[in-house]
Amino acid sequence: MHPRRPDGFDGLGYRGSARDEQGFGGAFPARSFSTGADLGHWVTTPPDIPGSRNLHWGEKSPPYGVPTTSTPYEGPTEEPFSTGGGGGVQGQSSEQLNRFAGFGIGLASLFTENVLAHPCIVLRRQCQVNYHAQHYHLTPFTVINIMYSFNKTQGPRALWKGMGSTFIVQGVTLGAEGIISEFTPLPREVLHKWSPKQIGEHLLLKSLTYVVAMPFYSASLIETVQSEIIRDNTGILECVKEGIGRVIGMGVPHSKRLLPLLSLIFPTVLHGVLHYIISSVIQKFVLLILKRKTYNSHLAESTSPVQSMLDAYFPELIANFAASLCSDVILYPLETVLHRLHIQGTRTIIDNTDLGYEVLPINTQYEGMRDCINTIRQEEGVFGFYKGFGAVIIQYTLHAAVLQITKIIYSTLLQNNI
């Protein structure tokens, strides 16, 4: 279990260490702000969202009110204005663009991960829990066709259901992690000079966080796969109500096939921790490669000003994209098993992913994680673990397209302002 957007930016000490390094891993010295010319190129760090954290690695904001030395005005011997229509105005515009560009780029990435890709998440989960299905939807072509059928028969809400509950799960996860780290010695971030003990304590914190968020994740899963045909108009806090009811044994009545939360702890924590480890390692690896590539291009002095500014934003976004993609693909079979265990016995009615209309009940009788794995392999084959995989392809193709479009737009804006 994991938030849709993995917290790889905290992964294995990336956020803590990247800000403390000088430039690109020591390759470029941090700028001093002793002169007015340097101060003119100063860019403040945008708000803390993905894609805006490392605007210029190693740089710090100059202290407020500290005077800077500059060359005094020498009368007519200096050119007061540039032929470009005013260098001061152009520099100010460029500074404002750089200040908020990271915010806009990161916001576009977040919007894609959490909003634009939500229909892919809905269909992906419905296919995973549908043990009746004869069509596995392993390619994006069949997924697009079934999405069109759902939208035609049930309306747009059929593909956007449960989106509010996914944000609640992310909020509960972040809040639980912060509270546990405050009242325990478990580190929320791993320092650059880590030890096996510190890694173990950090993973223990993640495990406890997944346990706390588990009942809310289960309630959110039900909201995303429940058919819109028989679904009541539930409020945005219904996920919280159902999650608490699942813990204390109250709320909507469930069947006797419902697995107790204790039996769901191991698969939930296993999936969450593995997803976090894989995404963190891949993110660090990709980021290291991109930083070396940037360093080599700067040494060759072949980098344009536009490319230099792009290198300040996009490596982190690309690393996060690669980490999410690889971890989702590697752990897709385990996620299928996890979702089937969470949905069993909840009296959930899902859409028929073979026809695009009608509904089906979930009547599985798995005794646990091992029985679920064996049953899927025997009755549905190996590809039964990959039902709905075509939705993953669409999801990350869409994400890559948005990143590329954002990069083109930002490059155009920079070229017009430099």
Residue 391 confidence (pLDDT) above 90: yes
| Residue in 409, 340, 406 with CA at minimum distance from that of residue 116 | 406
Look up residue 349 and give its two tokens.
């009615």
Q: Mean pLDDT in the chain? A: 78
All domains of the chain in start order, with CATH: 108-416 (1.50.40)
Asked whether 172 and 164 are in contact (CB, 8 A), the reply is no
Neighbours of 246 (CB within 10 A): 23
Residue 363 confidence (pLDDT) above 70: yes
Residue 35 confidence (pLDDT) above 60: no
Q: What is the pLDDT of residue 38?
A: 44
Q: What is the pLDDT of residue 307?
A: 62
- State phi, psi for 304 to the nearest 5 degrees: -75, 160
Residue 359 confidence (pLDDT) above 70: yes
Residue 332 confidence (pLDDT) above 80: yes
Which of 55-69, 130-144, 236-250 is predicted most confidently?
130-144
Give the DSSP letter of residue 32: P
Q: Residue 84 and residue 56: Cα distance in Å, rounded? A: 27
Q: What is the pLDDT of residue 253?
A: 62
Q: pLDDT, tens digit, for every residue of 257-301?
A: 899 999 999 999 999 999 999 999 999 999 999 888 877 766 666
Look up residue 180 and give its two tokens.
């546990």
Q: What is the pLDDT of residue 265?
A: 96
pLDDT band at 101 (very low <50, low <70, confident <90, very high): low
- Using a 10 angstrom Cβ sphere, with 0-12 exposed, 13-18 middle and 19 or more buried, the burial of residue 206 is buried
Q: What is the pLDDT of residue 9?
A: 40
Q: What is the pLDDT of residue 302?
A: 57
Percent of all residues in the chain with a pLDDT value above 70, rounded to a whole number: 68
pLDDT band at 408 (very low <50, low <70, confident <90, very high): confident
- Sort residue 190 into left (φ over 0), alpha (ψ -120 to 50) or beta: beta
Percent of all residues in the chain with a pLDDT value above 90, rounded to a whole number: 45
pLDDT band at 26 (very low <50, low <70, confident <90, very high): very low
Mean pLDDT, residues 99-110 taken together: 70
Q: Residue 166 and residue 162: Cα distance in Å, rounded? A: 7
Q: Residue 240 and residue 168: Cα distance in Å, rounded? A: 8
Q: Residue 106 and residue 312: Cα distance in Å, rounded? A: 12
- pTM value is 0.74
Give the DSSP letter of residue 75: G
Least confident among 1-15, 307-321, 375-389: 1-15
